[in-house]
Chains A and B, each alone.
Chain A
Amino acid sequence: MTANNMADPRRPSKIFRYKPPNTETNPTLEDPTPDYMNLLGMVFSMCGLMLKLKWCAWIAVYCSFISFANSRSSEDTKQMMSSFMLSISAVVMSYLQNPQPMSPPW
């Protein structure tokens, strides 16, 4: 019996539950990319809508995609969807107001 106990290192009595690391005390652990991209996406969509710049709206769509790809599972999907919808609406509005194709910057 004792031999068995000694050979088996498992101790069900010594179980501790998992505690997710507290990211408030250690902000370096968190990856800021999805938050930055979200913000950038919103800024670009606003620019695209207000200033009627097509390329702004397209960049906003890209930003919201990148933000989604880098997001954490625990994050709210509502936030992601809202920024995504905003950028899509920016693109659509830019084209409705001005159906001309986008001209390259060069």
Chain B
Amino acid sequence: FMGRYNDDFDDGEDIAEFDDNDFAEFEDVSEDPAVDVEKEPPPRAAPSSTPIEDDEDEATVENEDGQDEFEDADAQDQDMYSKYDNEEFEGYEKTNPSFKDTLIYREVPAHLQNSWESYYMEILMVTGLLAYIMNYIIGKNKNSRLAQAWFNSHRELLESNFALVGDDGTSKEATSTGKLNQENEHIYNLWCSGRVCCEGMLIQLKFLKRQDLLNVLARMMRPACDQVQVKVTLNDEDMDTFVFAVGSRKAMARLQKEMQDLCEFCGDKPKSGAKYGIPESLAILSEMGEVTDGVMDNKMVHYLTSHADKIESIHFSDQFSGPKVMQEEGQPLKLPETKKTLLFTFNVPGMGNTSPKDMDILLPLMNMVIYSIDKVKKLRLNREGKQKADRNRARVEENFLKQTHTQRQEAAQTRREEKKRAEKERIMNEEDPDRQRRLEEAAQRREQKKLEKKQMKMKQIKVKAM
């Protein structure tokens, strides 16, 4: 029985000798089944339980040459130590033998990988930027070609009508530059001047923002079209006093709300022009019937009818001051400056899908503009019409003055107070005490005079009332 307490023995042949009857009473009755059971854990546990049990028995168990040795070791162990009790493995989960299970490949987190694929967001971003740049170049070129095509087709007409075609305002001499001003990648200007019946004409080619990818995408939701805006400014003698507009119904409704003069002078809702023969898609805003009769002659009606799809709005006004400006609080209102103007807004057909060839289609519209300039010069209201127009203008001015009365009073009050304060400061700053005294006296006398004047006025009013 030395062997029983001898940890070092590992001789399998000695097993039988240790079935000692002396210690039979200490042995488990259920040894045999226990043996079988206990045989199992070690082989399984052996490879993975090495960290758990650090005995020499482990050393024998670790030897993986074959099952035989395990079994031998088992027999020894059981008899000697009953080490591999089932209870010992209670908390320990028996993992299935790895021989039958498939290996699970855990994914390495993206940031620990070292491949380009993990940077897919960055690649996406850069691709987006490249797409934006490509679109910028393509859009810019397209707009530039459209502008040039427009100018080429209209150049002859303009040069035969205006002495100055193309001016950017910077050169010393007033010579025609003969080319468009580029304001933006999508807006081109052309200033023409030197003609009878007008001061000058500013043409703005307002193309779509083809150079901005965001805008291109937005336009896929909400289609829009290129526009050509013509603004003719006139001298006083070139136009009589009237306000008139014709255009698509939507445009007329919008302009009536937005434009200062249309709002004040053309109070009625936009009317249909069917009685003159123009299509139903167009509506008219007019100061008075006589004006409409005067403007809508045969040629004008012909122009409007044949190009109704391209006309957004036509606005003739002697009181043009632009859109209504939002007045800020505390700023005294001044009657906005007006200028006699003819405004034309044309839509380029194609809803954005225009090609340079389409620019020729707009040529008749420019003819209409020239015709209108000459016509407006000749259009004069009769006596009745003139009186009505004058009354309208007087009315508008009066309304304006009434509205701003309180504001102007306040402004005058503040100005007076400012003056007083400045005066007092001057007196204070005066170093010479004599002069100081004299200035003070002068100020006092002025105050006195003012007070007396006021009193006189009040007395007069009282007398009148009586």
Interface size on B, residues (CB 8 A): 44
Contact B169 A101 (CB under 8 A): no
A11 pairs with B167, CB closer than 8 A = no
A3 to B118: give the CA distance in the assembly, Å: 81
Residues from chain A with Cβ under 8 Å of B325 in the complex? 25-26
The interface residues of chain A, by DSSP majority, are classed as loop
Of B195-203, B285-293, B406-414, B453-461, the one contacting chain A is B195-203
* A78 adjacent to chain B (CB < 8 Å): no
Does A18 lie within 8 Å of B125, measured CB to CB?
A: no
Are the CB atoms of A102 and B121 closer together than 8 Å? Answer: yes
Q: Which residues in B have their C-beta under 8 angstroms from that of A12?
A: 163-164, 194
CA distance A100 to B209 in the complex (A): 37
Given A69-B212, A101-B118, A101-B121, CB of A14 within 8 Å of CB of B194? yes
Interface string of A2-23 (1 = CB under 8 A from B): 0000001111111111111000
Complex contacts, A10 vs chain B, CB 8 Å:
160-163, 194-195
- What is the bound-complex CA distance between A74 and B162, given in angstroms? 27
A15 pairs with B136, CB closer than 8 A: no
List of B residues within 8 angstroms of A44 by Cβ: none
Cα(A44)–Cα(B184), bound, Å: 26
CB contact list, B291-337 vs A, under 8 A: 322-323, 325
How long is the Cα–Cα vector from A73 to B183 in the complex, in angstroms? 6
Are B169 and A20 in contact, with the CB atoms below 8 A?
Answer: yes
CA–CA, A20 and B191, complex, Å: 10
Give complex CA distance A18, B204 in Å.
13
The answer to whether B194 touches A61 (Cβ under 8 A) is: no
Asked whether B110 lies within 8 Å of A62 as measured between CB atoms, the reply is: no
Contact call A70/B163, Cβ cutoff below 8 A: no
Cβ of B211 under 8 Å from chain A: yes
**Contact between B184 and A73, CB atoms less than 8 A apart:** yes
B132 is an interface residue with CB less than 8 A from chain A: yes
Asked if A16 contacts B128 (CB within 8 A), the reply is: no
A69 surroundings in chain B (CB, below 8 A): 132, 136, 185, 209, 211-213
Q: By the criterion CB–CB under 8 Å, are B183 and A72 in contact?
A: yes
Q: Which of B118, B161, B193 has the most CB of A within 10 A?
A: B193
Q: Are A18 and B167 in contact (CB under 8 A)?
A: yes
A97 proximity list for chain B (CB < 8 A): none
CB distance from A34 to the nearest CB of B (A): 9
Q: Nearest chain A CB to B229's CB is how many angstroms away? A: 11
Contact with A along B211-246 (1 / 0, CB 8 A): 111100000000000000000000000000000000
B18 within 8 A of A: no
Report yes or no: B169 in contact with A19, Cβ–Cβ below 8 A.
yes
Number of A-B contacts (CB under 8 A): 99
- Which of B111, B202, B212, B322 neighbours the largest number of chain A CB atoms within 10 Å of its CB? B212
Mask, A50-77, CB within 8 Å of B = 1, is 0000000010011001100111111000
Q: Give the one of A16, A26, A28 with max B CB within 10 A.
A: A16
Which A residues are in CB contact (< 8 Å) with B128? 62
A95 to B136, CA, bound (A): 27
Give Cα distance in the complex from A73 to B184, angstroms.
5
CB distance from B182 to the nearest CB of A (A): 6
Separation in Å of the A59 CB from the closest CB of chain B? 9
Q: Tell me, in angstroms, the Cα distance from A28 to B258 when the chains sit together.
A: 11
B:134-151 near A, CB below 8 Å:
136
CB–CB B121/A103 < 8 A = yes
- B119 at interface by CB-CB < 8 Å: yes
The distance from the CB of A100 to the nearest CB of chain B, in whole angstroms, is 4
B122 at the A interface (CB under 8 A): yes
- Are A104 and B196 in contact, CB atoms less than 8 angstroms apart? no
Instruction: Give every chain B residue within 8 A of A17 (Cβ-Cβ).
Output: 167, 169, 174, 193
Which chain B residue lies CB-closest to A13?
A: B194
**B205 CB, min distance to chain A CBs, angstroms:** 14
Please give, as numbers and ranges, the residues of chain B lying within 8 Å of A20 by CB-CB distance.
169
Chain A minimum-CB-distance residue to B204: A21
Q: Which chain B residues numbered 98 to 138 have a C-beta less than 8 Å away from chain A?
A: 110-111, 118-122, 125, 128-129, 132-133, 136
Q: Is B168 an interface residue (CB 8 A)?
A: yes
* Candidate in A58, A65, A69, A101 with the most chain B CB atoms within 10 angstroms: A69
Residue from A9, A26, A100 in contact with B161 in the complex, judged by beta carbons closer than 8 Å: A9
A9-B161, A72-B183, A73-B182 are contacts. A65–B129 as well, Cβ < 8 Å?
Answer: yes
Chain A positions within 8 Å of B209 at CB level:
69-70
Residues of A within 8 A of B164 (CB): 12, 15
A35 → chain B closest CB, angstroms: 14
1/0 contact string of B426-450 vs chain A (CB within 8 Å):
0000000000000000000000000
Contacts of A61 in B (CB 8 A): 125, 129
A83 to B76, CA, bound (A): 82
Chain B residues with CB under 8 Å of A8's CB are 160
- From the candidates A66, A74, A102, name the one contacting B214 in the complex (CB within 8 A): A66
Chain A residues with CB under 8 Å of chain B are: 8-20, 25-26, 28, 58, 61-62, 65-66, 69-74, 100-104
- B contact set with A: CB distance below 8 Å: 110-111, 118-122, 125, 128-129, 132-133, 136, 160-164, 167-169, 174, 182-185, 191, 193-197, 199-200, 202, 209, 211-214, 322-323, 325, 374
Q: List 5 A-B residue pairs with CB atoms under 8 Å apart, sorted by A's residue number.
A: A10-B163, A15-B194, A16-B200, A18-B168, A101-B120
